Copies of this chain bind each other. A is one copy, B any other.
Amino acid sequence: MTTQEILAAAVAAKSAMTGLTSKDKKEAILSMADSLMASSEEILYANRLDVKDSLGSMSEVLLDRLTLTAERISAMADSMRSVAQLADPVGQVLSETVLPNGLVVEKISVSLGVIGIIYESRPNVTSDAAVLAFKSGNVCVLRSGKEAYRTSYAIVTALRRGLTEFGLPETVINIIEDTTRSSANEMMAAKGYLDLLIPRGGKGLIRACVENAKVPCIETGTGICHIYIDGAADMEMALAIIDNAKTSRPSVCNACEVCLVDRKIAASFLPRLKAKLTEKREKAVELRLDDEAAKIIEGIPAGEEDFDTEFLDYILSISIVDGVEAAVRHISMHSTGHSEAIVTENDMAAEYFCKNVDSAAVYVNASTRFTDGGEFGLGCEVGISTQKLHARGPMGLSELTTYKYIVHGNGQIR
């Protein structure tokens, strides 16, 4: 089917979602999870073809992300089953007001309609995104990266089998068949079809969506996260937090890219930081230092762009600043608005930092790695918004809904 035909089928499927009760949705998700497990062989076969085609052209880390095993499929089904158990985000009465004229105004959460999601090659995104959209009452249109297309198609086929067994039209979950750039452009232009487009993936894709999309779009993911080590920090804690935020998983958006150090403690802290991040470890972190830090420890001189780059790698830029106000100024100029942390025992510095840093998540004495739907207790996430409208930070089920006002009267006129 052409992209246009798939979009039209998705819009037509909306009415099938409107009639579903919370119980229906829960049971349909369990049916899809069963069907996913029953289709393991087909999915693994498709995945082997995808992996074979990418051998040699893809890094080891990415190949590992692309590769499925029986165990990973089972984890995907478990994740679906846990979403099935979450509270229904749709139909909640957000407020109810009786106006002086007797009108009863209810504000009720409702699904958005049709959600498009453009992503890359992690196969579990296919089942996660489909089930989150479904649980929140939305039809979804998925566009997988072409490296994972056969795998994603097999997963969607399995989910659709679960849908039809439950008596629902398969067009409630759709996958775009054209994996060239032109289908992404068609989705960005699909006004009247898509109520929301979520780009998950590289910076180029996200920028293209935000700048060109004619449909509502949410900017996700890019994280140039800062950790500021205040003069009043507990140094042991500071070292543990930076180590964790930088090296526990450098490839993700909530990893730390820049460390700002209060001048007051730079001379004592920096040598310890260098030792922690570079000595006696499997993979040393490359330190990129501003002029002042370079006077205290050895490292690579930082270029201007090093404070505006999401490395997603074992690289950390370090700058010395004059206290918390200067740290906030640096962050306001260089942050992508994702997650920033201060390490300090000084409550006033912590409060100033929290109040003045304009990011989705601001931490006191904790790692930036916690910015995540699962960690925040949302149950799951479909992405992390770095914009301020609609949703900010981890987007769970309720961020995939909107609301409407339902007003009951008995003839009121104005």
Residues of A within 8 A of B (CB): 15, 18, 97, 99, 103, 105, 110, 112-113, 195-196, 210-211, 214, 216, 218, 234, 237, 240-241, 243-245, 248, 350, 354-356, 358-367, 369-371, 375-377, 387-390, 392-393, 402-414
Contact = CB atoms under 8 A, between A and B. Distances in A.
* Nearest 4 interchain pairs by C-beta: A366-B409, A244-B413, A388-B402, A390-B390
Contact of A389 (B234, B363, B377, B390): B390
Contacts of A103: 366, 370
A15 B388 contact: no
Nearest to A408: B364
A366 B407 contact: yes
A414 B255 CA distance: 11
A404 B359 contact: yes
13 contacts: A97-B376, A196-B389, A211-B214, A350-B408, A354-B406, A358-B404, A362-B404, A362-B407, A365-B409, A365-B410, A366-B411, A389-B402, A393-B405
A12 to B, nearest CB: 11
A231 B214 CA distance: 39
Task: State the main secondary structure of chain A at its contact with B.
Answer: mixed
B369 A414 contact: yes
B360 A405 contact: yes
A191 to B, nearest CB: 9
A18 B355 contact: yes
A405 B359 CA distance: 8
A283 B139 CA distance: 46
Contacts of A404: 358-362, 392-393
A401 to B, nearest CB: 9
A369 B411 CA distance: 12
B412 A367 contact: yes
Nearest to A399: B389
Contacts of A105: 376-377
Most chain B beta carbons < 10 A, residue from A110, A195, A362, A366: A366
Contacts of A407: 361-364, 366, 370
B413 A240 contact: yes
A376 B405 contact: yes
A110 B402 CA distance: 20
A410 B371 CA distance: 16
Contact of A387 (B99, B216, B350): B216
A391 to B, nearest CB: 8
Given A113-B388, A360-B404, 7 more contacts: A97-B377, A99-B377, A112-B388, A241-B411, A354-B406, A366-B413, A376-B405
A246 to B, nearest CB: 11
Nearest to A411: B237
A413 B241 contact: yes
A357 to B, nearest CB: 8
A217 B393 CA distance: 19
A413 B248 contact: yes
Contacts of A409: 363-366
A365 B408 contact: yes
A20 to B, nearest CB: 11
Nearest to A337: B404
A145 to B, nearest CB: 25
Contacts of A387: 216
B406 A216 contact: no
Nearest to A366: B409
Contact of A248 (B210, B402, B414): B414
A18 B196 CA distance: 32
B414 A195 contact: no
Contacts of A354: 406
Most chain B beta carbons < 10 A, residue from A355, A388, A402: A388
Given A195-B388, A377-B105, A405-B362, A367 B99 contact: no
